[in-house]
A and B are shown apart, each in its own frame.
Chain A
Amino acid sequence: MMTEVKKKVPGIGLSLDIYAVALALLLALLVRFNLIPAVKW
Chain B
Amino acid sequence: MATTALARPQAVSLGRTAVELIPGLLLLAAVGYAGKFIEQSIATYTKAHHTTFPNIEYVLWAIVIGLVIANTTGVPRIFAAGIATYEFWLKAGIVLLGSRFLLGDILHLGGISLLLVALALSLSLTFMHPLGRAFSLKPKLTSLLAVGSSICGVSAIIAAKPSIDADDEDASYAIAAILALGAISLFTFPLIGHTLHLSDKAYGLWAGLAVDNTAEATAAGALYSDAAGKVAVLAKTTRNALIGFIVLGYALYWSSQGQAQTVSNKAAFLWKKFPKFVLGFLLISLLATLGFFTKPQLTSLANLSRWAFLLTFAGVGLRTSLRDLGKQGWKPFAVGAIGEVFIALVTLGLVYTADLYLHL
Contact = CB atoms under 8 A, between A and B. Distances in A.
B12 interface: yes
Contact of B95 (A12, A21, A31): A21
B273 A5 contact: no
Contacts of A40: 303
B79 to A, nearest CB: 7
Contact of B10 (A1, A11, A39): A11
A12 B9 CA distance: 6
Contacts of A38: 296, 299-300
A12 to B, nearest CB: 5
Given A12-B4, A25-B95, A17 B276 contact: yes
Interface in A1-40: 1-21, 23-25, 27-28, 31-32, 38-40
B76 A1 contact: yes
B183 to A, nearest CB: 13
A24 B8 contact: no
B350 interface: no
B209 to A, nearest CB: 21
B159 interface: yes
A32 B79 CA distance: 34
Chain A's interface: helix, strand, loop or mixed, by majority?
helix
A10 B13 contact: yes
A6 B158 CA distance: 15
B284 A11 contact: no
Contact of B83 (A5, A13, A25): A5
B293 interface: yes
A11 B312 CA distance: 16
Q: Report the interface size class on chain A.
A: 20 to 34
B4 A24 contact: no
Interface string B277-316: 1011001100100001100110111011011000000000
B290 to A, nearest CB: 12
A12 B11 contact: yes
A25 B1 contact: no
Given A5-B79, A9-B84, A13-B10, A31 B297 contact: yes
A21 B319 CA distance: 23
Interface stretch (B86-94, B190-198, B254-262): B86-94
Nearest to B96: A24
Interface in B1-40: 1-4, 7-14, 16
Nearest to A40: B303
18 contacts: A4-B80, A5-B319, A6-B3, A8-B80, A9-B83, A10-B13, A10-B81, A11-B12, A13-B8, A16-B12, A17-B91, A17-B275, A17-B276, A19-B14, A31-B300, A31-B301, A39-B300, A41-B306
Interface of A: 1-21, 23-25, 27-28, 31-32, 38-41
Interface of B: 1-4, 7-14, 16, 70-71, 73-77, 79-81, 83-84, 87-93, 95-96, 99, 155, 158-159, 272-277, 279-280, 283-284, 287, 292-293, 296-297, 299-301, 303-304, 306-307, 318-321, 323-324
Given A11-B11, A14-B276, 9 more contacts: A1-B74, A13-B8, A14-B159, A14-B272, A20-B90, A21-B279, A31-B293, A31-B300, A32-B293
